[in-house]
Each structure stands twice: as C-alpha cells, then as structure tokens.
Amino acid sequence: MRQRRWVELLNDYDCDIRYHPGKANVVADALSRKEREKNLRETTDKVSQVRKRLEAAASRQKSYADNRRKPLEFQVGDRVFLKVSPWKGVARFGNQGKLSPRYIGPFEILKRIGPVAYRLKLPSELSNVHDVFHVSNLKKCLSDETLVIPPDEVRVDDKLHFVEKPVEVMDSKVQKLRRSRIKLVKVRWNSKRGPEYTWEREDQMKQKYPYLFLSKS
C-alpha cells in the first residue's frame, strides 16, 4: 500500500530513479582487477621459466648428441686396431649367444679417404679384405687387450667375420614359446681366447654340425 501511494505522489514530479555504486564497490573492483593482473603475471613468469629450462635442456641434449655423432679422427701414421665380429655360422636364437667384438692389429694408417674412412696397411694374411675402413671399425687403443687377436691366428672373410667351430654339446633344454617349444643345446666353441658357450637350436646344429651328435645317437 505505501509503495503504491509513493508512486502516486511521484507522478506529479519529473524524476529518474538510478543506482550509483558506492565507493566500497569501486575499491573492491580495483582490488579484484589487481589480483587478476598479479596472478596473470605470475603465471606468465612461470611459463617463461619452464620454456627457458626446456630450451636449455634441449640445447644440452643436442650438444651431447652432436658430440656422440662426431666421427673419430686419426692421422696418417697412426696405428689402430680393426674390429672383427665372431661368427658362428648358425642363426642366433635371441640375444643369449651374442658375442663381443674382437680386434686385430694394430695396423698403420696409410691415407685418409674422405671425412670418415681410412686406408690401412694390412698384412698378407688379410689380402682378401678391402683395405679401406669406416672409422666405426677402427679403435686407437683398447682398455681390454685380451680382446686383441693376432692376424695370423684367425681367418677373416671379406665382411670382417671370423668363423669358429663348435667342439661339443654340453647340455640341452626346451625353450617354451607361446605356441610351440624349441629344443636348445649348449655348445662349446673353439675360441682363441678361451672357451665360449652359447645356446643354439638343436635342429640347426644337427643340420650344420652333425658330428656333434654322433656319440649321442
């Protein structure tokens, strides 16, 4: 009732009813805006720091990778070892039979061929091997001299493999796979640096080295 009477009284006057926010609201809005700006600056700073750290880490990783990829360099007259790979002449079963590389030499470098290859002075025992090698096959010094094989003690093919023959079968077992079973035999090889043992597939060894199984039949 009272509100209706006030409206009737005000009809005789020209007036506008408006809302004006007080000073408290203005201050609150300003503080809220400053807080948002502060949070935005802090977030931007953190993102910038993370980006700089990622860039620094990427730069270090690239530098490390570049150094790793940088090929070795030798001088004419340097003496280097040549890496050769033991080769059993049978298909490997997994990685159990993988052997460490061996080195023969040392040999003198006669000439540099391009940025990553060198010509070596090879003895007559290696006349069947091409005398230019990539740096990845060369080693200036060895931490383990027991891996070095004199050239006259090994016959190397044109792919730098030397072949060893099995001496005897020491043991056997059955390897269970998902859908089948494979019989394996433990073979002793005539390594120049002492006995070596690997697990091989029995069927492949019987086919390639039948003499190993004559006494077992």
Give the global pTM: 0.38
- Provide the pLDDT for residue 110: 93
Return d(Cα 54, Cα 62) in angstroms, integer: 12
Return d(Cα 208, Cα 217) in angstroms, integer: 16
**pLDDT exceeds 90 at position 73:** no
Higher pLDDT, 108 or 29: 108
Q: What letter represents residue 188's amino acid? A: R
DSSP class per residue in the chain: -HHHHHHHHHTTS---------HHHHHHHHHHHHHHHHHHHHHHHHHHHHHHHHHHHHHHHHHHHHHHHSPP---TT-EEEEEEEEE-SS---TTTT----EEEEEEEEEEEETTTEEEEE--GGGTTS-SEEEGGGEES--S-GGGEE-GGG--B-TTSEEE--EEEEEEEEEEE-SS-EEEEEEEEE--TTS-EEEEEEHHHHHHH-GGGGTTT-
- Provide the pLDDT for residue 7: 61
The answer to whether 212 and 168 have CB atoms below 8 angstroms apart is: yes
**pLDDT exceeds 50 at position 163:** yes
- Provide the pLDDT for residue 90: 45
Q: List the structure tokens of 16.
A: 């506008």
Residue 178 class from Cβ within 10 Å (0-12 exposed, 13-18 middle, 19+ buried)? exposed
Return d(Cα 62, Cα 22) in angstroms, integer: 60
Query: Cα-flanking dihedrals φ and ψ of residue 144, to 5°?
Result: -125, 95
Handedness of CA 52, 54, 60, 63 (dihedral sign): negative
Rounded average pLDDT over 61-87 = 71
**pLDDT exceeds 50 at position 111:** yes
- Provide the pLDDT for residue 98: 44
Return d(Cα 82, Cα 84) in angstroms, integer: 7
Rounded average pLDDT over 156-176 = 75
- Provide the pLDDT for residue 26: 58
**pLDDT exceeds 70 at position 212:** yes
Higher pLDDT, 130 or 13: 130
Which pLDDT band holds residue 30 (cuts at 50, 70, 90)? low
